[in-house]
A and B are shown apart, each in its own frame.
Chain A
Amino acid sequence: MSGGYRFPSDEPLARQVRFTFNERELVGLEGEPIAAALLANGVRTIRHDDSTGEPRGVYCGIGHCFECRAQVDGVNGVRTCLTPLREGTRVASVAQWDVAKK
């Protein structure tokens, strides 16, 4: 395998879309799980454990382990392995929940 993490495919590729991870601009395929788009961009660490600070990424890939959760378009705790990527999707590692903020 050379270059990126995305395999060549004989199927027609989905449309490319732009999205952000921690405000960094990335490109993925429309409709693929966010976790796949992140992996294809070489992003392994999706968040840090809130008590130990250790990095965490995809583990089970089927929504069971919740390790790949992130904030997606302002909603916390979204499992990126189950959530399709769209044009402009904003993904962030840090839970920015603030009760006082409107």
Chain B
Amino acid sequence: MNDACDVAVVGAGPAGLVAAIEAARAGLSVTVVDEFPWPGGRLLGQLYTDPRSHGRWDGRKISRQLAQEAGELGVRILGGATVWAVGRDLSLELSGVPVGTLRPQALLLATGAAERALPVPGWTKPGVVCVGAAQTFTNVHHVAIGRRVLVAGIDPLALSVAMEMHHAGVDVAGVVLPPVSTTSGALASPERAVARLADVADLAPNGLLRAAARLAAGKLSPLAVSALRFDLVRVGGVSIGFRTALVAVEGDGRVESATLRSVAPDGTLVGPERRIEVDAVCISAGLYPLTDLAEIAGCPMVEVEELGGLVPLHGPGLETPLERLFVAGNLTGIEGAKVAIAQGRQAGCSIARSLGRATLVSPEDAARAVSDARTSSPFRFQPRIAAGRAAMAELWQQAIARGDQSA
């Protein structure tokens, strides 16, 4: 394969698909590539009721609709394609199902995010998985990761997945704090976990999360206090141990048990160890942007903690300092699918304009739609996302002042 196209998009998640649709609407030829055989990205695992609209958010259905719409507009979607290099001319080298080179005029990187690792003794045993894997296997493949599962990590995603597994019939042995380590930091602190949940109290997309978050928010403050004092809260059939942490996973060749210890409100381990029988452990330690291709492309990277760590430097229209290279979705900062969709639309419009095409949506409207999606999003993965976005805007202005921008 040695193909030219107007626009190449890496990542067939919500940001990539919507950007492809928008660019195709402007009359551009678009190819989307993704390692996964099916389009949708992290949308595929998402299933919840939006507390604002009370509508059901079915990520698989949305993925299908987006892919279909893209297909009708002539967008080519290549699944099972790994991009192993990005040339200076933005050409993409592919291996996997298609092998060869894709030569676009403009490139959108919408490579999404991966999960942070949180090592704990025994974490490499078969049966210990990331929360995202648990979500995909439960909601997309309808396969249980185990019969009795411990979830380590008290955050919106972990609680959602615990709830989804519980509803699917898995015995969820409990949701506890992640192991205390230099890498887990604040994630392992009961006070911080409670504070993070409080942040999503009004928007929580399922009962378990909503209840836990309300508790944490202090609307039922006596309960929140008791949650911290007595450790265990049982919500919707699932126990949440705000003052319990996973310290080790045991088993001969597979997960057979997990060892827990109590945690003082400041995060230090106290009291004796206790062991519970489980055959799977699901660890949630948060997401970070998958920046490999952006780095290979030569995009300057900046560290913005509120966005999830290292992210490509980008401007208000999702442009980068490299001409005709754009970024969107979780790669630009960890946020939910609604923000990714709005960013996709914005990036699609920016790309179309960079290639001299008119778009129906004005740059201002596209940017506004992103902020609207941000404020109405049921999930907030990074508590200080607005500060992160502001920091990026500042960094971009500084870069322009230094003359880094090629455009």
Contacts and interface: CB of A to CB of B under 8 A. Distances in A.
> Touch between A and B in complex, CB under 8 Å?
yes
Contacts of B169: 1, 7
A76 to B, nearest CB: 14
A73 to B, nearest CB: 14
A9 B140 CA distance: 10
B126 A63 contact: no
Interface residues of A, number: 32
Given A1-B147, A6-B142, A63-B36, A57 B127 contact: yes
A16 to B, nearest CB: 14
B37 interface: yes
A60 B145 contact: no
A60 B115 contact: yes
Contact of A5 (B35, B143, B254): B143
B92 interface: no
B152 to A, nearest CB: 14
Chain A at the B interface: mostly helix, strand, loop or mixed? loop
B111 to A, nearest CB: 10
B57 interface: no
Interface string A28-51: 000111001001100011100100
Nearest to A79: B35
Interface in B130-155: 130, 132-134, 136-138, 141-145, 147
A57 B36 contact: no
Contact of A1 (B80, B115, B125, B144): B144
B35 A59 contact: no
B248 interface: no
Contacts of A84: 37
Given A56-B126, A62-B114, A39 B143 contact: yes
Q: Is chain B's binding surface mostly helix, strand, loop or mixed?
A: loop
A61 B143 contact: no
Contact of B35 (A46, A54, A58, A82): A82
A72 B36 CA distance: 16
A77 to B, nearest CB: 12
A74 interface: no
Interface in A1-26: 1, 5-9
A14 to B, nearest CB: 10
B126 A55 contact: yes
Contacts of A67: 124
A63 B254 CA distance: 21
A7 to B, nearest CB: 4
Contacts of A61: 129-130, 132-134, 136-137
Contact of A59 (B80, B130, B138, B254): B130
Interface in B280-301: 290
21 contacts: A1-B144, A5-B147, A7-B144, A7-B168, A7-B169, A8-B142, A9-B142, A32-B141, A44-B126, A45-B126, A56-B124, A56-B126, A58-B133, A59-B124, A59-B128, A60-B115, A61-B129, A61-B130, A62-B136, A82-B80, A83-B37
Given A1-B147, A9-B142, A36-B137, 8 more contacts: A36-B141, A40-B143, A55-B126, A57-B125, A58-B129, A62-B132, A62-B136, A64-B114
